[in-house]
Amino acid sequence: MRENAKHTQDGKLSEDIKTGFTVPENYFKGIEDNFLLNLSEKKLPKNNVFEIPKTYFEEFDDHIIEKIKPKKGKLINFKKIKLIPVAATVALIIFFGANFSFNNNSELSSDEIVNWVDVNINTISSDDIAFAFTDLNFDDMNPYFTIESEDIIESLINSDDIDFIIEHANINEIN
């Protein structure tokens, strides 16, 4: 069979011979370009000319893990819609408490704040938070870390925490 194989003028095997081999479409068309390309490539240098500090890759893993690790108690994910009312509550307690007590020269009780939040919880928008925290860039916050809403609620119903927030807000305002 092999001995009988005959090629036609255009390089194809005659009709009666089947080898079973095929080539990608346009393979022969591109062979000249590929050859020239190889010649051009061989003229170019190929060394890796970029260097790195010796321990760079060894230290990289820990460095990046440290960066993505959640930092407890520092960042709140305000992008989570369901947390916005709760986060707004915290923001407004500080804002409202600070302004009210400072401007009116009077003390707010924990109960008054809790009642106010109770009544206004549905009207607090994300704009309120942005207004209360004008010095924060929310885009720079790490969206990975979130505080559970239960944690915030628990701390809110603890009256000592509210007293602390009011006290802290008053000190900041006076300073």
Residues near other proteins (CB under 8 A): 30, 33, 37, 40-41, 43-53, 56-57, 60-61, 63-65, 67-69, 143-144
Report the nearest approach of other proteins to the CB of residue 26 (Å): 9
- Residues linked to residue 7 through DSSP beta bridges, in sequence order: 13
End-to-end CA distance of the chain: 100
User: Judged by CB, which is closer to other proteins: 142, or 170?
Assistant: 142
Q: Which amino acid is at 36?
A: L
User: Judged by CB, which is closer to other proteins: 1, or 52?
Assistant: 52
User: Judged by CB, which is closer to other proteins: 68, or 174?
Assistant: 68
Pick the closest to residue 86 from 96, 98, 77, 97 (CA basis): 77
Cα-flanking dihedrals φ and ψ of residue 7, to 5°? -100, 145
Alpha-carbon torsion angle 152, 158, 162, 164, nearest 10: -100
Q: Which amino acid is at 89?
A: T
In 51-169, DSSP assigns E strands to none
User: Judged by CB, which is closer to other proteins: 67, or 82?
Assistant: 67
User: Judged by CB, which is closer to other proteins: 52, or 119?
Assistant: 52
Rounded CA separation 171/174 (Å): 5
Report the nearest approach of other proteins to the CB of residue 53 (Å): 7
Report the nearest approach of other proteins to the CB of residue 104 (Å): 44
Q: Which amino acid is at 16?
A: D
Report the nearest approach of other proteins to the CB of residue 130 (Å): 22
